[in-house]
Structure 1
Amino acid sequence: MADYLILAVAAFCAGTLNTVAGGGTFLTFPALVYTGVPVVAANATSAVAVFPGYLGGAAGFREEIAAFDRARLLRIGILTAAGGLVGSLLLLVSSNEAFSLVIPFLLAAATLIFAFGGKIQAWARRQQVEGREGWFGTLLVSVYGGYFNGGLGIVLLALFSWWGMRDLNTMNGLKNGLSFILSAISVATFALAGLVAWPQALVMMVAATAGGYAGAPLARALPPRVVRAVVILVGVVMSIIFFARLF
């Protein structure tokens, strides 16, 4: 029961963080590992735990998504699904030992992406790459998200800026929609492979949904800098802990 309480609290806080600023993976994944779930299964279960939030986010921006060019949206959705499938299959062939070596670097990279997300977006905005390179970037980001979705939202926003998009509501709607597609592919793949720890996942899904609901008033009350500082601090601490596990 103590383990489930830890998972529920972590998922609730993760749901709140994802609503306010993002970075919930920094809590759900380490909590699962701490309670004894092997790292590969923990990554898969963490993806399941935060999955419902993407659907709610996409529904909230359904008008912006509906206004997006249908043909372009279809191409992007297909690329996202393909990349998510490749990334999730890569996780399936990763041993716990190999993933344990990779995860500290992924956590550190996700923390840096979150910390410097504004600068990354500004740089991407100056590039404004369209055409084939833009689609290749979509595929790469989707592979990353299928393998490990930490910092995925920031990476997607930077990708959209790279394309030359400017409207934040459209970008957020597209981000949530693509995250839902990618996560749906990943969750289905992990479930069919038997990687998901379902008792833990179900508890965390409920707690994360409640946390996401509770995060809305918190997002209005807290200064953005405070929230970002908390997420970055959590990311740094978790990265250090997982680096320390290597030795």
Structure 2
Amino acid sequence: MFAPDFFTLLLLLITGFIAGVCNAIAGGGTFFTLPIFLAAGLPPVLANASNAVAVWPGHILASVGYRDILLKNRQTLFKASLIGLVGALIGAYVLLTMGNARFRVLIPFLILLATLLFAFGARIRSYFNSRVSASSRHFSLDNPNVWGVLIQLVLAIYGGFFSAGLGVMLMAMLMLFGVHDIQLNNAYKNAIASVISTVAVMVFISQGLVVWSFTLPAFVAGVVGGIVGARVARFLPAQLLKNIVVGTGIILCIYYVVKLF
């Protein structure tokens, strides 16, 4: 039904690779791949679902590097993963029932939210980190109260629906829950995001929402980009990549708002 021409295929390979590198170092790969799916003429829901599959390896590859930490904390992660699983299912099915017309209206606002999260991610994490001693008495990843469960559930729903910016949200949540060690925070973040994205991807695939002729080139290029990104992370300044991601997000937001109205 949909098949990319040579130019689109080339763009999918290039942006998929860039997304893989960005996700391995700073995040924000969706800002590069999703616009290509949309510009190629895919309906918004199919474009979002196909993009979710294309960038899915990012969190998985990142989690592999933390496997020792994750194995030591598997009981804690099991509880968080259950909440993530439920939330991701809800988010994915909300997308299924929304329809293209309504999702098209949300696109610029979702991109704006994700852009703001990337732009102010460090400040957001710092804000919650400064309140960790007080908040950890009320929130815990091991034994969350009702509010703790709700926070995790809301973020998982968002991740199942539209994943851009999820990493920043999860890191802030984990700091609120008392996980202020940056390595442990990153490990938890990648593991929880892996569960959320995997569940969403399984729903999208099972419902036939993935346009494989577009997804596979970006997927393969993203895996290669992720491997390259992990190897060159020490040489590429993360802040520079973040600035590029934020700048791209602002341009996309303006473009889709103008297109919408």
Q: TM-score, normalised by structure 1?
A: 0.96
Structure-to-structure mapping, 1:29-68, within 5 angstroms: 29-68=34-73
The answer (yes or no) to whether the contact 2:115–2:249 under 8 Å persists in 1 is: yes
The answer (yes or no) to whether the contact 2:77–2:192 under 8 Å persists in 1 is: no
Structure-to-structure mapping, 1:45-194, within 5 angstroms: 45-68=50-73, 70=75, 72-125=76-129, 126=131, 128=135, 129-130=138-139, 131-132=144-145, 133-194=147-208
* Superposition CA RMSD, Å: 1.3
- Per-residue deviation, 1:81: 0.3
Match of 1:5 in 2: 10
Q: Structure 1 pair 62/217, CA: closer, same or farther in 2 (3 Å)? A: closer
* CA distance, structure 2, for counterparts of residue 8 and residue 231 of structure 1: 18
The one-letter amino acid of 2:149's match is W
For residues 14-67 of structure 1, give each alpha carbon's deviation from its aligned partner in whole angstroms, at most 9, with x where no partner exists. 111111200001111111101111111010011100112222211110111112
The one-letter amino acid of 1:216's match is A
Match of 2:233 in 1: 219
For residues 201-237 of structure 1, give each alpha carbon's deviation from its aligned partner in whole angstroms, at most 9, with x where no partner exists. 1111100011112223442223333222111101111
Match of 1:25 in 2: 30
* CA distance, structure 2, for counterparts of residue 147 and residue 19 of structure 1: 22
Give identity over the alignment, percent: 36
Q: Which range moves more in the overlay, 88-97 or 49-58?
A: 49-58
Match of 1:202 in 2: 216
The answer (yes or no) to whether the contact 2:115–2:250 under 8 Å persists in 1 is: yes
The answer (yes or no) to whether the contact 2:43–2:100 under 8 Å persists in 1 is: yes
The answer (yes or no) to whether the contact 2:45–2:95 under 8 Å persists in 1 is: yes
The one-letter amino acid of 2:44's match is V
The one-letter amino acid of 2:213's match is P
For residues 133-167 of structure 1, give each alpha carbon's deviation from its aligned partner in whole angstroms, at most 9, with x where no partner exists. 22211100000000000011111101101101111
Listed as ranges, the gaps of 5+ residues in structure 1 are none
* CA distance, structure 2, for counterparts of residue 38 and residue 139 of structure 1: 28
* CA distance, structure 2, for counterparts of residue 29 and residue 148 of structure 1: 11
- Residue aligned with 2:98, SS: coil
* CA distance, structure 2, for counterparts of residue 210 and residue 69 of structure 1: 28
Give the paired residue count. 246
* CA distance, structure 2, for counterparts of residue 26 and residue 50 of structure 1: 11
- Residue aligned with 1:150, SS: coil
- Residue aligned with 1:220, SS: coil
Q: TM-score, normalised by structure 2?
A: 0.91
Instruction: Provide runs of 4+ in structure 1 moved above 2 Å.
Output: 216-219, 222-225
Listed as ranges, the gaps of 5+ residues in structure 2 are 1-5
Q: Structure 1 pair 120/202, CA: closer, same or farther in 2 (3 Å)? A: same
The one-letter amino acid of 1:77's match is S
